[in-house]
Amino acid sequence: MDQVKELLSKLPEEAKDLRINLKRVLEGESLSEEQTWGTALTAAYFLRHPELTAAVLADAKSAGVSDAILEDARGAASIMGMNTIYYRFRHLMNSDAYNKRPANLRMMRMQQVASSKENFELFSIGPAALAGCEMCLKAHEAAVKKGGMTEDNVHDAVRIAAILHGVAVALESAEG
């Protein structure tokens, strides 16, 4: 975790809790090492903070995370960049005028995963939480649980995304 630790050293003292929290969640709790890094990398891509993304990617590679996990993290972040906007719109509008229409959005990447369907679904939970998309959260949680994962796994994925969001905010505030 050398690159992430170096990045965390740039956080202001006011963000000390984030340094501690990120180290803790990246050491793994209910998720495997690959799931932890895949979840973190998906969130970093989704947050679009280049320095944070580069540090998480470098440390994931150093940890020996497979290319399939790295590929699924990029794929999940990309697809969720589209889905969280569209499905949050449908939820917020709560109108048959929109909800009965077909989405007509290509999402084959969600079926053509590099690692496993469960990992891809797990990686999608962080961006869903970051975007506040209730429909996405519920759909991905159901898929993860159907695949044999637990609420602890979902909880940890959201914690990772939330902490990374806090780190991104703290890094940007330290720059200004």
Domains and CATH numbers, the chain: 2-175 (1.20.1290.10)
Euclidean distance between CA atoms 43 and 59, whole angstroms: 14
Tell me which of 69, 136, 157, 167 is the catalytic residue.
Answer: 136
136 is catalytic: yes
pLDDT tens for 108-149 read 888 899 999 999 999 999 999 999 999 999 999 999 999 999
How confident is the model at residue 108, as a pLDDT? 83
Tokens coding 26: 């990246």
How confident is the model at residue 143, as a pLDDT? 97
Tell me which of 41, 125, 133, 158 is the catalytic residue.
Answer: 133
**pLDDT at residue 33 above 70?**
yes
63 is catalytic: no
> Do 121 and 144 contact (CB within 8 A), yes or no?
yes
